Structure 1
Amino acid sequence: MSSSRLFGVLVFLWMAAVPAGASAAPPSREEARVPGVRYRTVKVEGLDIFYREAGPSDAPVLLLLHGFPTSSHMFRDLIPALADRYRVIAPDYPGFGQSSMPERGAFAYTFDNLARVMEGFTEAVGVKRYALYVMDYGAPVGYRLATRHPERVSALIVQNGNAYDEGLGEFWAPLRKYWSQPTQENRDALRSLLTLEATKWQYTHGVPDTSRVSPDAWTVDQALLDRPGNADIQLDLFYDYRTNLPLYPVWQAYFRKYQPPTLVVWGKNDAIFIAPGAAPYQRDLPTATVHLLDAGHFALESSGPRITALIREFLAKHRGELERAPRQ
């Protein structure tokens, strides 16, 4: 029998040994141990809040809060990478991702309201204590949660999430103009930030090797931005961002008083929240660890494995704090 024919017979016998409908290869030990990601929706104040979740139900919780113009989609790779030891939950804000997008007349798109809905979300899914991952918009949303309920926050992971004046650079000039002069002309001038070109720029600017950034990221974000009515929702939030700056001292006071374990991972080439915004965390949180990565605004896209390793190391170091019951 020729070798090629023998090989064919062996393949046939191997396939015949696998029962119909069964997987040809059993799951690896790692695959069997890591629960898959689930995609769910919960009602909060009459809104459908979509979220992604994975990990053991009794494990310490990591709450992932996304930035602009994205959604929980930005965490699509991070969630399964951490789900072997943690319950990882990533919601979409109202007006973002797969969550409800009520009309502006029915829901005021402010950071206070986004934070209130996220607070209701944590209560709806039964989360009483969590480590916070905050990125971009996730910072003003998450820090509102932290200052309202410091007993619920076990740790902070900050990825290009600003809480200091030093983190705001030239990018903010047209937004500051709109804040001080909220005319239709100044509002319309910001519509360029909602285009495909601008969304792609957010993902690729400052990235040494853009081939590491999936085009799915900006394509998905832009499709959601282009929904009728969403542009004005985002412009409302651009205007309301001005309310975050006066809260910086409040958040900094929270850092100083409660000293949550903190990891800062920052794409140092970010033109939106610039690198000088990272170091001041250590001014108020002396034990915080700060890593400046050779990446841009969405550092997870190009530096995901590095960030994942840093998070795993950080969470393992503070496992006891994560598992402790909430302070009353």
Structure 2
Amino acid sequence: MSLRNQIRFILILTVSSFSFLFHARAAEPDSYPVKYQTVQIEGLDIFYREAGPADAPTLLLLHGFPTSSHMFRNLIPALSDKYHVIAPDYPGFGYSSAPSVDKFDYTFDNLAHIMEKFTRQLQLNKYSLYLMDYGAPIGFRLAVQHPERIETLIIQNGNAYEEGLDNPFWEPVKVYWKERTSTHGNQLRSLLTLDATKWQYTTGVRDVKAISPDTWGHVQPLLDRPGNQEIQLALFYSYGSNPPLYPQWQEYLRKYQPPTLIVWGKNDPIFPAAGAYPYKQDLNKLEFHLLDTGHFALEEEGPTIARLMRKFLTQYTNTAH
């Protein structure tokens, strides 16, 4: 090869390499760091995690029991390149205020009231809802109150049908709903122990070694705070206010037909797959996935759920980013 051809070859290779690196870097999603913030609602500090461009479609992530926005710690950055992601802690959970039961009414009506004021204060006028466990009764109250605000639903082990409560886990809780005595309440305190918290995270998963102890390491010290057991018992009792509202929530689904993605851990002993199937009766725009994992499906199936959410949200939201 002549010297001239060698130089030409080197130049072409250099330009090609630069072009490849440029386009590869351009294809990488923008990085939006998670911000940890607090806002005051009716004298309470409500902590929340937020990431993503403010003008992108908004995702409001509502956590379950006994965790907090911590359960979304990996999902938020996985979606924040194209979505404005917000995950609050309810009063009594995570890093939000936890006033004693004699200073705050721990009911699902009141938690939903605080979350509705939270959405107004942050000017969330249109959003998709991620509903998990306790997030379902809170989120469905928001949806019924303001159906015009709901763009889509992502439901992960979040119940809205009687079929989802027909299992042994709920038997002692239902006794407490019928007769709120200290005896029946004390029988539920075992659900607030470290063993019970680990059980929630590990039961039904494929590989226990894949579940980080950072989960119960975050949750249990918060559950063990003085007065927090009384908070949780109040909410166990208040959960009995949810089944009577199921017909109202189901009517919302039938009337407004929000596009819905179900990503449900099918081995969950608390909200088993029996609670997922009835959504098919009421929703026309439904994408349905049963995942081979347990209650906290994000711990083992987080990348899968993020991928399914991105595909689903691209179809039903305006993702210009």
TM normalised by structure 1 equals 0.88
Query: What residue is the counterpart of 1:127 in the other structure?
Result: 124
1:61 paired with 2:87, answer: no
Of 173, 195, 198, the match for 2:196: 198
- Taking the aligned partners of 1:144 and 1:103, their CA distance within structure 2 comes to 24
* Counterpart residue identity of residue 244, structure 2: P
Secondary structure in 1 matching 2:38 = strand
Of 295, 302, 308, the match for 1:310: 308
- The Cα shift of 1:286 comes to 2.5
- Taking the aligned partners of 1:77 and 1:215, their CA distance within structure 2 comes to 15
- Taking the aligned partners of 1:104 and 1:118, their CA distance within structure 2 comes to 18
Query: What residue is the counterpart of 1:142 in the other structure?
Result: 139
Of 49, 67, 81, the match for 1:84: 81
Task: Tell me the alpha carbon deviations over residues 176-212 of structure 1, each in whole angstroms, 9 at most, x when there is no partner.
Answer: 1111121111000000000000000000000011111
Of 72, 75, 84, the match for 1:75: 72
Equivalent residues, number: 296
Query: What residue is the counterpart of 2:289 in the other structure?
Result: 291
Query: What residue is the counterpart of 2:178 in the other structure?
Result: 180
Task: Tell me the alpha carbon deviations over residues 136-165 of structure 1, each in whole angstroms, 9 at most, x when there is no partner.
Answer: 000000000000000000000000000001
- Taking the aligned partners of 2:56 and 2:314, their CA distance within structure 1 comes to 12
Contact 2:79 2:85 in 1 (8 A): yes
% identical equivalent positions: 63
* Counterpart residue identity of residue 191, structure 2: L
- Taking the aligned partners of 1:126 and 1:319, their CA distance within structure 2 comes to 18
Query: What residue is the counterpart of 2:36 in the other structure?
Result: 39
Q: Which runs of 5+ in 2 are unaligned?
A: 1-24
Secondary structure in 1 matching 2:187 = helix
Contact 2:203 2:268 in 1 (8 A): yes
Query: What residue is the counterpart of 2:211 in the other structure?
Result: 213
- Taking the aligned partners of 2:215 and 2:60, their CA distance within structure 1 comes to 21
Of 259, 266, 269, the match for 1:268: 266
Query: What residue is the counterpart of 2:9 in the other structure?
Result: none
1:171 paired with 2:163, answer: no
* Counterpart residue identity of residue 126, structure 1: Q
- Taking the aligned partners of 1:31 and 1:211, their CA distance within structure 2 comes to 31
* Counterpart residue identity of residue 305, structure 1: P
- The Cα shift of 1:91 comes to 0.2
- The Cα shift of 1:218 comes to 1.1
1:158 paired with 2:155, answer: yes
1:112 paired with 2:106, answer: no
- Taking the aligned partners of 1:96 and 1:30, their CA distance within structure 2 comes to 38
Of 231, 254, 257, the match for 1:256: 254
- Taking the aligned partners of 1:236 and 1:30, their CA distance within structure 2 comes to 49
- Taking the aligned partners of 2:186 and 2:87, their CA distance within structure 1 comes to 31
* Counterpart residue identity of residue 295, structure 2: H
TM normalised by structure 2 equals 0.90
CA RMSD of aligned residues (A): 1.4
* Counterpart residue identity of residue 180, structure 2: P
Task: Tell me the alpha carbon deviations over residues 203-239 of structure 1, each in whole angstroms, 9 at most, x when there is no partner.
Answer: 0000011111111001100011001000100000000
- The Cα shift of 1:166 comes to 0.8
Distance 1:30-1:71 versus aligned 2 partners, 3 A rule: farther
- The Cα shift of 1:287 comes to 2.3
1:243 paired with 2:259, answer: no
Structure 1 stretches of 4+ with a deviation exceeding 4 A read 28-32
* Counterpart residue identity of residue 44, structure 1: I
Secondary structure in 1 matching 2:188 = helix
- Taking the aligned partners of 2:317 and 2:218, their CA distance within structure 1 comes to 35
- Taking the aligned partners of 1:119 and 1:48, their CA distance within structure 2 comes to 15
- The Cα shift of 1:114 comes to 0.2
Of 297, 300, 317, the match for 2:298: 300
- Taking the aligned partners of 1:294 and 1:79, their CA distance within structure 2 comes to 22
Query: What residue is the counterpart of 1:280 in the other structure?
Result: 278
